[in-house]
Structure 1
Amino acid sequence: MNKVPILMNIKTQLSAELDNATHAAEQARLAATDDQSVAETQYDTLAIEASFLAHGQSQRAEQLMQAIAIIEKLMLQNECHRYIKAGSLVVLSNEQHQTQYFFIAPVGGGMSCVEGGKTIKVITPSSPLGKAMLGKAIDDDVQLKLGHKDMEYVIDELY
């Protein structure tokens, strides 16, 4: 299975978040430097708050740019894996024979995309399911405990 369309989808979602963060940072910067934001008393902190917000949004934009660079690197490494690691596309099934698709990426956890009629969830290696899957191969069991619920999967396919 070709992972490039999945990576392109993740990159598109990250780029949209980057646009939003960049726009928010610019709006906060403008609010911080606006004439209406000038402090009238020592308790008037509107400009200070706006500058903190601008700084935070700028940091978020920087993180998103780094995340996009990581995804672009993964695009160049479109290989199949024998063992699960970052960049793997994993097909799991549970005892009820329900199939789920997961793409393990260093960034973008929580995102999902539809490719070939299948919903693919993006998880990071540091997520509970990601940790449980790392290093496993086809036909291995994956056991996970979330709260009081025990879940068990079998790895059906690995790309």
Structure 2
Amino acid sequence: MSIISKNSLIHQIILSLEADLDTVKAQARGAHDAATHEESAAENKYDTFSLESGYLASGLSRRVREIEQSLQAYRDLAPRAFDDDDEIRLTALVTLDDDARLKYFIGPGAAGLVLSFEQVDVRVITPQSPLGQQLLGKAVGEDIMLMQKGVQTPASITDIV
């Protein structure tokens, strides 16, 4: 994969984050409106609709900030090319021997996002994730342990780009 292709992948991640941001902002506005609407005032001590809507609005507002931070990190990201003997770092696209149809992109945010890119699925992981922590500093041919369905499974790194 060339730097141009990696830039395309990053662009696709940015587009996905922008769509998520629009959705979460709309949800946050709706929750805020529900929490502050005059008809949402508690009718008795057991009526917690307004309180629950306020908690939801607060959580969604935090999610908006997280997505905005991830967006900025991806907009500032400079991808690099990796050779098989390079150590895995940020912007590496890693293939493990457990599933050649799935690659892992080490990114600064958006952990868990899965995209279809160049006929494979790409799962975004961060350096802070358990898998990211295992992969950082490793090279092709080295082994890691994957947690699959509660069971530790060995896997080897087969490619880094």
Question: Residues 83-126 of structure 1: CA distance to partner in whole angstroms, max 9, x if unpaired?
Answer: 211211123335xxx52421111212221212221222212223
- Identity across matched positions, percent: 32
Task: Decide whether aligned partners of structure 1 residues 117 and 50 sit closer, same or farther in structure 2, where only a CA change above 3 A counts.
Answer: same
Q: TM-score, normalised by structure 1?
A: 0.83
How does 1:1-159 map onto structure 2 within 5 Å? 1=1, 2-74=5-77, 77-81=78-82, 82-94=86-98, 98-99=99-100, 100-138=102-140, 140-146=141-147, 147-156=150-159, 158-159=160-161
SS at 1:108 equivalent: coil
CA contact (8 A) 1:143 1:151 kept: yes
Q: Find the aligned partners of 1:35 and 1:43 in 2 and give their Cα distance.
A: 17
Distance 1:148 1:78, change over 3 A: closer
Counterparts in 2 of 1:44 and 1:145: CA distance versus 1, 3 Å = closer
Whether the aligned pair in 1 keeps the contact of 2:94 and 2:157 (CA below 8 Å) is no
Partner secondary structure for residue 153 of structure 1:
strand
Q: Provide closer, same or farther for how the CA distance between residues 31 and 107 of structure 1 changes in structure 2, counting only shifts above 3 A.
A: same
Q: Name the count of aligned residue pairs.
A: 152
Cα deviation code 1:17-73 (max 9, x no counterpart): 211211111111111222211223333332222222212111111111111111111
AA aligned opposite 1:35: E
Q: Secondary structure at the match of 2:97?
A: strand
Alpha-carbon distance in structure 2 between the residues aligned to 1:87 and 1:124: 10
Code of the residue aligned with 1:16 in structure 2: it is A
Distance 1:7 1:155 in 2: 22
**Two-structure CA RMSD over aligned residues (Å):** 2.0
User: Which letter maps to 2:145?
Assistant: L
Q: TM-score, normalised by structure 2?
A: 0.82
Deviation at 1:145, TM superposition (A): 4.8
Give structure 1 stretches of 5+ with no counterpart: none
CA distance in 1 between counterparts of 2:53 and 2:154 reads 45
Answer whether contact 2:67 2:110 (CA < 8 A) is retained: no
